[in-house]
Each structure stands twice: as structure tokens, then as C-alpha cells.
A and B are shown apart, each in its own frame.
Chain A
Amino acid sequence: MAYSEKLLEHFKHPKNVGTLDKSKKSVGTGLVGAPECGDVMRLQIEVDDATQIIKDAKFKTFGCGSAIASSSLATEWLKGKSVDEALTIDNMAIVEELALPPVKIHCSVLAEDAIKGAIKDYKEKNNIVESKS
């Protein structure tokens, strides 16, 4: 199967691999898995309290190359965004950017779920009420 250059780059040189201190109030952690393939993905954000801007993002993914690339790209996109902007990141944007083949679309869904999980965790820690739209 042919993979895009961008995908291979994120896979070979993933950005922002690592761990943030999850005991910190400013850090939100999302942990998700895909039983179809047994992949697990942890994505963390650190938010600046005053500005609500995501100042750092890290991930650790155990899974296929597409899952690693999807989460690597997600952390790149998260940095510098506000928490509310981050919520608008859609898995299809990841699919397009990395040119994921159809069988790997679930990897991008995983990344989106991980972002949403991290934000939810951050909001719960800081008693920010989810604004339902």
C-alpha cells in the first residue's frame, strides 16, 4: 500500500512524543483504544490558565503507523490553539492532511477521540462547564 510523504514523515519522525505530568491541574489526558486492532493512544494537553491556549501537547501511541502519524499531527495542530478551537478539530481533516487510505480512517477517529478526551479531562479538573451547543 502506498502511503503519503506526510504520513511517512510523521511516522518516522513523530513530533511531541512523551508524557506530561497528569497530576497537574493544567494538564488534560485522553486515553483511547481501538479493539479492532488493539491500538492504544494517550494524548495530553497543557493549557495556559490565563489565556486558555494550549501551550504544549504530547502523545504516546502504540499502534500502526497511521495511528502514530494521526496523533503526531494532532499534537502539532493542538499547540497554540485555544481549548474551544481544539474541539473543532475533525478526524476528516487528519484524513485529508495525511491522505489516509479508507482502511486507516479509524486511526484518525482515534486521534479525534483522544483530543476530545484530553479536553474533557482538562475541563473536569478545572470545573469548566461543558458548553452544549
Chain B
Amino acid sequence: MTDYFDFFNIPRAFNLDQQELRRKYISNSKASHPDFFTLENKDKQDAVLRMSTLNNEGYNILSDHRRLVQHILQLEGMMPEEGKAQVPGDFLIQMMDINERLMEAQMDPAAQGLQAIFNDLDQLEEELAHTAQCAKDQWDEDHSGSSLETVRDIFLKQQYLRRLRQQIKSGGSQL
């Protein structure tokens, strides 16, 4: 897989300098714009197109914090195989509970209880984000395995909250 930190020649870090990334992205975009290479041979044009694709994809990933975290975890070999990822049982119980409450609240036209769920979600997200940020700062400094494990564990939990948020947005079940 492509290491987009390498590609942009930016240090691998959770606290990435977004302005630097943006500068490099724009400068790459100019340098690899297909319109400037219409008179070149096919090999050169293909190379430019590949470069442009990587530039766009890389920017999309690194400028989106969730995807940036996922990218680092993948590069560091910290993402479990599909189906092997585990979160603690009590967290799953909490997620089941909040999903059930959300479903009941969504079916109730008076929408009672929704606000309480939003508050719980906000609080949970804040707690996770705070713990994650400490671990991310730590890892950027010392690249320790334990801090990266914390980032990974929280990332997995955040996936459940993300689904809840999508559920709230869509207001119902999705196939």
C-alpha cells in the first residue's frame, strides 16, 4: 500500500501540519496537471496521471482525520484483520443500549429522549477524543507501541459511534 506520508514527504504523525500538506498538494496538482502534458508521449502522460491520482487520493486521506488515523494504523500494521477486531464487552453493552434507546426514540414521533441520547453521545465522543489525543501526542513524540495501541482501541470504539451518528442523520435503517 502507498505510504502517503512518504508521497508528500511529510513526517508520519497524527498531528500533521495541514497547511504544509495543503501547500504540497496544490504544488503537486500544478506540477501534475494533465493539461500541461498533452504533447508528451503516452508513457509520460500515464506517469503524470498516476501521480495526479496518488496526489488526490493521498490528500483526501491525510486531510480527513479519521482516515489519517486509519492510514497510520495500517502502515504500522496495527489494524486487525477483518472480523478479528475486538472492543471490550462492557463497551459493546453500552453500544447495544444506546442503539436500542435511539431506535425507540426514533419511532416515537414526539422524539422524547433523543436529546438525552445526543448528550450521552457527545460526552462519550469527547471522552474518547480526549484520551485519543493524549495517546496521539505521545506517539508523535516517542512512537511507542503502547500509545499506538491506545489510539487503535479508541479508533475501533469510535467506529461504533460513527455508525450511531449516521443512524441519527438518516433517521432509520439502511440496507
Residues of A within 8 A of B (CB): 3, 11, 31-40, 42, 60, 62-66, 68, 106, 109-110
Contacts and interface: CB of A to CB of B under 8 A. Distances in A.
29 contacts: A11-B175, A31-B96, A33-B87, A33-B95, A34-B83, A34-B85, A35-B85, A35-B87, A35-B160, A36-B82, A36-B85, A36-B159, A37-B159, A37-B163, A38-B160, A38-B161, A38-B162, A38-B164, A40-B92, A40-B95, A40-B96, A60-B96, A62-B167, A63-B163, A64-B175, A66-B175, A106-B83, A109-B83, A110-B83
Contact of B93 (A31, A35, A68): A31
A38 B161 CA distance: 7
Given A34-B83, A35-B159, A106-B82, A40 B174 contact: no
Contacts of B92: 31-33, 40
What range describes how many residues of B lie at the interface? 20 to 34
Interface of A is mostly: mixed
Nearest to A38: B163
Interface of B: 82-83, 85, 87, 89, 92-93, 95-96, 99-100, 103, 156-157, 159-164, 167, 173-175
Given A35-B87, A62-B167, A42 B96 contact: yes
A23 B93 CA distance: 15
Contact of B99 (A11, A40, A106): A40
Contacts of B160: 33, 35, 38, 40
A106 B83 CA distance: 6
A59 to B, nearest CB: 11
A37 B158 CA distance: 10
Interface hub of A11, A35, A62 (most chain B Cβ within 10 A)? A35
A35 B174 CA distance: 17
Contacts of B164: 38
Interface hub of B157, B160, B167 (most chain A Cβ within 10 A)? B160
